[in-house]
């Protein structure tokens, strides 16, 4: 069976050069906000207004950000590569889609969607969202961001596992390898025979699990990697 499926895991680092903050770098989001207050179901239950304010601010940042050369290169790869290219992103921004990528799974949810905590209905998020916003389906005032918080189950795991198991190449871009299950994908892909490559500014916590690691900004590493892969 041809192993021409490529799975690409992206993290906050691929959007850093678009002006969106990472989490664990110097001045990262988790150095400025208490993740227990803004990225857990308990934090939302305690103070939904604070959580909505945190995500409303990130949604506004996203609206003014633009995809960068790394996002563009991955869209070109999806278009020109003969096999499947699946982007599994931990990011909640829509920069991959705005660069033209279509085969994208957001395992931590998306800022662009609202979720009703009462009935599970999802709808396009307004720029400013509030807990009291009534659910269009059931009317409950239980609106939350459609973001997977710590302690919640990531989205699309069955499809991600199926694709990892048949990938010929697994590439991680802009992620610190801090959060599971995403940080374990490299070992899963390697177990099923994939070659593995890390493209990252600094060594991730899982750097030694990769066959190859390249250091530098995503806007330099990713276009160069894609051009070499697509070269005739
Ligand atoms: N180019 C390439 N890599 C970069 C760049 C850049 N310009 N800037 C930063 N990086 C790298 C950093 O070296 C770091 O390894 O991106 C990584 C960012 O790591 P984190 O801030 O931990 O972000 P991420 O790995 O996406 O976090 C995973 O944690 O808090 C949760 O849900 C949140 O999805 C997030 C998850």
Domain with residue 129: its CATH number is 3.30.1600.10
pLDDT value, residue 92: 98
Same domain? 226 vs 119: no
Model pTM score: 0.97
Same domain? 36 vs 139: yes
Residue 144 bridge partners (DSSP):
115
pLDDT value, residue 232: 87
Same domain? 124 vs 231: no
Active site residue 96: no
The b/e string for 97-114 (b: 16+ C-beta within 10 A; e otherwise) is bbbebeebbbbbbbbbbb
φ/ψ (deg, to 5) at 8: -120, 120
Same domain? 83 vs 175: yes
The residue whose two tokens read 């918080």 is 149
CA 170/CA 185 separation, integer angstroms:
8
Q: Which two tokens stand for residue 165?
A: 């198991």
Same domain? 38 vs 114: yes
Q: Structural domain tally of the chain? A: 2
* DSSP assignment string, 105-170: EETTEEEEEEEETTT--EEEPPSS--TTSPPTTT--S-EEEEE--TTSPPTTHHHHHHHHTT-SEE
Q: Cβ < 6 Å from ligand 1: which residues?
A: 11-13, 16-17, 22-25, 28, 90, 108, 174-176, 178-179, 200-202, 204, 217-218
Same domain? 189 vs 77: yes
> What's the CA-to-centroid distance between 165 and ligand 1, angstroms?
24
DSSP secondary structure letter of residue 24: S
Q: Give average pLDDT by consecutive 10-residue segment, the chain, 232 residues.
A: 85 98 93 96 96 96 97 98 97 98 98 96 95 95 96 98 96 97 98 97 98 98 98 90
Q: Which two tokens stand for residue 136?
A: 């269009």
Q: Which two tokens stand for residue 74?
A: 């991955």
Same domain? 123 vs 88: no
> What's the CA-to-centroid distance between 25 and ligand 1, angstroms?
7
Query: Which of 8, 10, 11 has most ligand 1 atoms within 8 Å of its beta carbon, as the pocket-test mutant?
Result: 11
Same domain? 54 vs 75: no
For the domain that residue 211 is a member of, what is the CATH number?
Answer: 3.40.50.1220
- Find the domain containing 158 and state its range: 1-18+67-108+154-232
The residue whose two tokens read 């396009």 is 124
Q: What is the pLDDT of residues 37-96, one digit of tens each?
A: 999 999 999 999 999 999 999 999 999 999 999 999 999 999 999 999 999 999 999 999
Name which residue sits closest to atom 34 of ligand 1, judged by CA. Answer: 90
* Residue where a domain terminates, one of 147, 174, 204: 147
Catalytic residue among 52, 96, 108, 156: 108
Same domain? 9 vs 44: no
Closest atom of ligand 1 to 70 CA is 1
pLDDT value, residue 84: 97
pLDDT value, residue 1: 47
């Amino acid at each position: 069976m041809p192993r021409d499926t490529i799975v690409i895991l992206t993290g906050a680092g691929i959007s850093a050069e678009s002006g969106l903050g990472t989490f664990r770098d110097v001045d990262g989001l988790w150095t400025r906000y208490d993740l227990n207050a803004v990225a857990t179901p308990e934090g939302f239950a305690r103070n939904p207004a604070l959580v909505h304010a945190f995500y409303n601010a990130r949604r506004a940042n996203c609206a003014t950000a633009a995809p960068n050369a790394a996002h563009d290169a991955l869209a070109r790869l999806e278009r020109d590569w003969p096999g499947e290219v699946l982007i599994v992103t931990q990011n909640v921004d829509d920069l991959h889609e705005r660069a033209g990528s279509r085969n994208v799974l957001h395992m931590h949810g998306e800022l662009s969607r609202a979720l009703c905590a009462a009935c599970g209905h999802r709808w396009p998020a307004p720029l400013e969202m509030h807990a009291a916003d009534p659910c269009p389906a059931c009317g409950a005032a239980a609106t939350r961001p459609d973001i997977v918080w710590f302690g919640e189950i990531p989205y699309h795991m069955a499809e991600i596992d199926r694709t990892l198991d048949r990938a010929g190449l697994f590439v991680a871009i802009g992620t610190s390898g801090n959060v599971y299950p995403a940080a374990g994908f490299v070992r899963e892909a390697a177990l099923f025979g994939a070659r593995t490559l890390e493209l990252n500014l600094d060594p991730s916590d899982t750097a030694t699990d990769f066959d190859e690691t390249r250091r530098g900004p995503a806007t330099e590493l990713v276009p160069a990697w894609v051009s070499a892969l697509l070269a005739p």
